[in-house]
Amino acid sequence: MTAPDRSALAARDATDPLARFREFFELPEGVIYLDGNSLGPLPRIVRERVAKCVSEEWGDGLIRSWNDAGWVELPETVGGKIGKLIGAEPESVVATDSTSVNLFKVLSAALVLRPERKIVVSEKSNFPTDLYMVEGLKELLGKGHELRLIENPSELPGALGPNVAAVMLTHVNYRSGYMHDMAAVTRAVHGAGALAIWDLAHSAGAVPVDLSGAKADFAVGCGYKYLNGGPGAPAFAYVAPRHQDEARQPLTGWFSHKAPFAFDHRFEATDGIKRFLCGTPPVLAMTALDAALDLWAEVDMAALREKSVALTECFIELVEERCAGLGLTLASPRDAARRGSQVSFAHENGYPVMQALIARGVIGDFRAPDLLRFGFTPLYTRFTDVFDAVGHLEEILRTRSWDRPEFHARAAVT
Ligand SMILES: *Cc1c(COP(=O)(O)O)cnc(C)c1O
């Protein structure tokens, strides 16, 4: 098979049903942005809405805006918009805190629902913060909980058993882009009497997700990646309606209280998903995420997935044809059905190669020890961007232009 040429890809851009969404983003001239899986770009509407929130709601409205501008309901308003993207039932998602903190809450809730069981199963290749949160929680509980890590997804059935309380997996792996079959895995987890916790950091806004259809128990995810909510945007938490009456989480701040403004000295948990809130919502950040989510109302997720698969296929084909023999190895699933919206290639000089790409305006990222990671975001990435990015990659590798001292210097964030 020969990889497509640039004019064929330009023709594809011309008939792309999602092409019109690119206009909604502020993308700098000369940049091919392949890192929307790590930090989404700025939607134009966010600049306007945050400016309005600052000058009118905060500046003029002052404290009245908690009621008049709907600030106090933002966690549920924003959560409701996210819920529609991930197949959640109404009133089962809140936007709040960070993904790490929300994991702590849902993990705690899962362990309370399975008090006799002591094991949490996850993957060694999961995003480290997910694993760190389990470690902190089990130390705090001091009840002999164990974190059991599998090396690859095929080991999951063998890791289940009568003492497993919960299985906590990231739906799309942050390194390889491997995507679990959420419904099948959840079924197996339930078959063993355990609860399924899904991290949707690389799924929400990237691939179709059906939490309700899969009968997921809990989920968390990120606001600043494919949802474009801005650096450090609030994250979200999902609790299946069937668990909401019984579920408890230990960060019992006043926003999870039945009547926060009664100022009672005793804690009494509120009903429903709001129990998973803790303190005052960060209104400016919440407003940015809220505005960014409005773009999704018009997005057809099936079309999004179709384009995402086409972009990643095209990238893999082009890299394997044009960069053959230049030291790259595909580190993502070849089967599109098992791949999220990103592609990783391993290269022994991955770090300087990525720095050389970034210097040319092709922005992806690097994950130690050797992965070049490229995110493909169908709302603003064009097929010609894929072609041009591979052209730069090929040139950098052929000329070894990555091997300059400035490209070897490591920054704090890679
Ligand atoms: C990005 C990401 C996080 C980030 O967590 P924060 O608390 O927002 O820093 C957590 N888990 C996964 C799987 C991620 O991809």
Look at residue 2 and tell me whether its pLDDT is greater than 90.
no
Q: Are residues 126 and 234 in the same domain?
A: yes
Whether 377 contacts 412, CB under 8 Å: no
Residue ranges making up the domain that contains 304: 6-30+300-408
Whether 278 contacts 253, CB under 8 Å: yes
38 found inside a domain: no
Confidence of residue 115 (pLDDT cuts 50, 70, 90): very high
Q: Are residues 194 and 218 in the same domain?
A: yes
Q: Are residues 159 and 189 in the same domain?
A: yes
122 Cβ partners below 8 Å, 6+ apart? 130, 131, 134, 147, 148, 149, 150, 167, 168, 169
Long-range CB contact pairs, 307-311, < 8 A, 24+: 307/16, 307/18, 307/378, 308/206, 308/207, 308/341, 308/376, 308/378, 309/336, 309/339, 310/12, 310/383, 311/341, 311/376, 311/378, 311/381, 311/383, 311/386
Check if 385 is active-site.
no
Q: Are residues 356 and 266 in the same domain?
A: no
Give the distance (Å) from ligand 1 centre to CA of residue 216: 19
- Residue entry with tokens 């039945």: 258
Q: Are residues 22 and 141 in the same domain?
A: no
Look at residue 74 and tell me whether its pLDDT is greater than 90.
yes
Measured CA to CA, the distance from residue 138 to residue 368 in angstroms comes to 27
Q: Are residues 69 and 157 in the same domain?
A: yes
39 found inside a domain: no
Whichever domain contains 210, its CATH number is 3.40.640.10
37 found inside a domain: no
226 close to ligand 1 (CB < 6 Angstrom):
no
Task: Express as a percent the part of the chain with pLDDT over 70.
Answer: 100
Task: Evaluate the CA torsion angle 41, 42, 43, 49 in order and state its sign.
Answer: positive
379 close to ligand 1 (CB < 6 Angstrom):
no
Measured CA to CA, the distance from residue 70 to residue 306 in angstroms comes to 36
Instruction: Tell the residue nearest (CA) to atom 10 of ligand 1.
Output: 99
182 found inside a domain: yes
Measured CA to CA, the distance from residue 27 to residue 42 in angstroms comes to 7
- Atom in ligand 1 nearest the alpha carbon of residue 98: 7
Give the distance (Å) from ligand 1 centre to CA of residue 99: 5
42 found inside a domain: no
Whole-number pLDDT of residue 412: 86
The conformation of residue 326, written as its DSSP 8-state character, comes to: S
Per-residue model confidence as pLDDT tens digits over 261-302: 999 999 999 999 999 999 999 999 999 999 999 999 999 999
Three-state SS across 267-297?
CCECCHHHHHCCCCCCHHHHHHHHHHHHHHH
Confidence of residue 3 (pLDDT cuts 50, 70, 90): confident
Backbone φ and ψ for 270, nearest 5 degrees, come out as -75, 175
Q: Are residues 181 and 320 in the same domain?
A: no
Measured CA to CA, the distance from residue 234 to residue 283 in angstroms comes to 10
Number of folded domains that form the chain = 2
DSSP SS3 for 144: coil
Catalytic residue (choose from 97, 130, 199, 385): 199
Q: Which of 238, 268, 298 is the last residue of a domain?
A: 298
Q: Are residues 263 and 355 in the same domain?
A: no
Per-residue model confidence as pLDDT tens digits over 343-378: 999 999 999 999 999 999 999 999 999 999 999 999
Check if 373 is active-site.
yes
Whichever domain contains 361, its CATH number is 3.90.1150.10
Q: Which of 298, 316, 348 is the last residue of a domain?
A: 298
96 close to ligand 1 (CB < 6 Angstrom):
no
Catalytic residue (choose from 127, 218, 276, 366): 127
The conformation of residue 411, written as its DSSP 8-state character, comes to: P
Q: Are residues 109 and 210 in the same domain?
A: yes
Q: Are residues 69 and 132 in the same domain?
A: yes
The conformation of residue 74, written as its DSSP 8-state character, comes to: H
41 found inside a domain: no
35 found inside a domain: no
Q: Are residues 368 and 387 in the same domain?
A: yes
Q: Are residues 253 and 150 in the same domain?
A: yes
Q: Between helices 383-399 and 301-322, what is the axis angle to 10°?
A: 20
Q: Rounded mean pLDDT of the chain?
A: 97
154 Cβ partners below 8 Å, 6+ apart? none
Look at residue 135 and tell me whether its pLDDT is greater than 90.
yes
316 found inside a domain: yes
Q: Is residue 413 within a helix (H) or strand (E), and if so which, with residue range? A: none
197 close to ligand 1 (CB < 6 Angstrom):
no
130 close to ligand 1 (CB < 6 Angstrom):
yes
**Global confidence as pTM:** 0.98
Question: Residues 327-331: what's their mean pLDDT?
Answer: 98
Give the distance (Å) from ligand 1 centre to CA of residue 194: 23
Confidence of residue 50 (pLDDT cuts 50, 70, 90): very high
Give the distance (Å) from ligand 1 centre to CA of residue 15: 35
Q: Which of 274, 298, 322 is the last residue of a domain?
A: 298
Whole-number pLDDT of residue 1: 60
Check if 366 is active-site.
no
Catalytic residue (choose from 225, 275, 360, 367): 225
State the DSSP string of 202-257.
Answer: TTTTTS---HHHHT-SEEEE-SSSTT---TT--EEEEE-GGGTTT---S---GGGB
Catalytic residue (choose from 104, 224, 238, 374): 224
Whole-number pLDDT of residue 410: 87
Instruction: Tell the residue nearest (CA) to atom 15 of ligand 1.
Output: 201
129 close to ligand 1 (CB < 6 Angstrom):
yes
